[in-house]
Each structure stands twice: as C-alpha cells, then as structure tokens.
Structure 1
Amino acid sequence: MATHAHSGSWVHRLGRGAGRTWGGYLRREQRAAGWLVGRGVPTSAARALLWIAKLVVLGVLLYAAFWLALLLLLAMVLVWAVDNAVPEDDDEKAEWRMGLSGYGLYRGETRIDLGDPDDD
C-alpha cells in the first residue's frame, strides 16, 4: 500500500470526511448507550430509546421537507398562474412587420409605434 502526501481529489476528501463524521456519530451513540446503561437502564431499553430518538429526528426532518416541498409547489403554481393570467391572442400580440403604414410595430392591422414621419 502506497502512502502519499497528497490527499487526493475532492471526492476522496469528501468521502474521508463523511466516514470520520459517521464514525464520530457511532462513538457518541455508544457513549450515550453506555451512559444510559450506567444509569440503570437495561441494554435493550437503551437501544430502543436511541432508535426512538433517531426516528423522531427523521420524522421532524420529513415533516420540514414536506412543508418546504409544499411551499415550493405553491410558489410554482402561483408563478404559472401569474404567467397565464393574461391571455394573449395571436391577433392581439404586437409584432414587427411590414403593414399598410410601412414597416413598424403592429397589433392586428393597427400600427402602434410612432414611426418616422419622414418615411412617408
């Protein structure tokens, strides 16, 4: 096995950091279980309490994620509704084209830009 002074790519460092974090979490969990057993709680009950704590944290995270997703969905529906609130017919849409009064911005058959009076 080669030992390198260089720690590798950012993915390697990220994985190593995640592994250290997970190991630290497991050590703290074992310390908490040992503390509970030291206080007279049976080992199986200490494990059950730790699992209940994990499930409660997971439930709180899922609850928060649900409301954030609902808020995002509501924002998307609101943006869609505002975008589609004013119906634009193809006849009513302004466009640049050559018309009866020369080249200009027309809505339907009416030129809506001022144009250049010298163009006549």
Structure 2
Amino acid sequence: MNSTTRISTAERLGRTAGRRWRAYVRGERRVSHWLTSMGMPVPGATALVWAFKLTVLGMLLYAAFWLALLVLVFFVAGAVASSGLEWEEPETEWRTGPAGFGLYRGDIRVDVGDPYDDD
C-alpha cells in the first residue's frame, strides 16, 4: 500500500488560485506603496487602486453581458428552428378522390394511373 497521499485536482486548482490571488494582492500593495513613495497621499493611492479595480470589473461585466446576449440569441434561434414552424406534408392515403381511386396526398393524386380508367 502506498503511504503517500495525493492531492486531488480540485485541491490543486484551489491552491493555484490562492497563489495567484496572493500574487495579485502583493502587486496591488506594491503599486500602492510606489504611488505613495512618488508623493501621492495614501487615500489618493487607495482611490486610484479601487478605480482601477472597478474599471476592470466593469469591462468584465460588459463583456459578459454581450456574451450572454449572444448565447441567448443562439438559444432563441435554435428554439425557433426546432419548433414546428416547418411546412409538413399531408400524409398519403388510399381513397377515392376527384381523380378516382388512388393514392392521394391532400387533394392531389400521387400514384401513376389513368383517371379515366373505370377499373
């Protein structure tokens, strides 16, 4: 029996996401410190960082809106295409009609036959 434990894919993805988040926070803190070292007041640096965050969030929401609208249009188009809007041919049936006994589709005789034949 193997005594080493293996981490699952979900745990590995979670750890990767955590590392990336920590790297982002470190970078944000580094930018904030750089802005304050350049002479910007701390509240101004904080406001600038938050303005950047909100701008990125707004762009992501804008892109997600158009993507969702595109998916919705494709979904509606697929629903309309698969609905019963197509013309359906009437069923063929053997009966006596205007051209005598034969195979009819609607009011039109579709089998080969002589309409003046009295058989």
CA RMSD across the alignment: 3.0
Query: For 2:74, what is the secondary structure of its paired residue?
Result: helix
Equivalent residue number for residue 20 of structure 1: 19
| AA partner of residue 50 (structure 2) | W
TM-score by length of 1: 0.67
Equivalent residue number for residue 42 of structure 1: 41
Query: For 1:41, what is the secondary structure of its paired residue?
Result: coil
Deviation at 1:81, TM superposition (A): 2.2
Q: Percent identity?
A: 45
- Residue by residue over 1:44-98, the C-alpha shift from the partner in whole angstroms, topping out at 9 and shown as x without a partner, is 110111111000000000000101111111111222222333144xx8268xxxx
- Bigger Rg, structure 1 or 2: 2
Distance of 2:91 and 2:76 partners within structure 1: 25
Query: For 1:72, what is the secondary structure of its paired residue?
Result: helix
Deviation at 1:107, TM superposition (A): 6.3
Note the residue ranges of structure 1 that are not aligned, 5 or more in a row.
101-105, 113-120
TM-score by length of 2: 0.68
**1:59 to 1:46, Cα distance in 2 relative to 1, 3 A:** same
Note the residue ranges of structure 2 that are not aligned, 5 or more in a row.
95-103, 111-119
Query: For 2:39, what is the secondary structure of its paired residue?
Result: coil
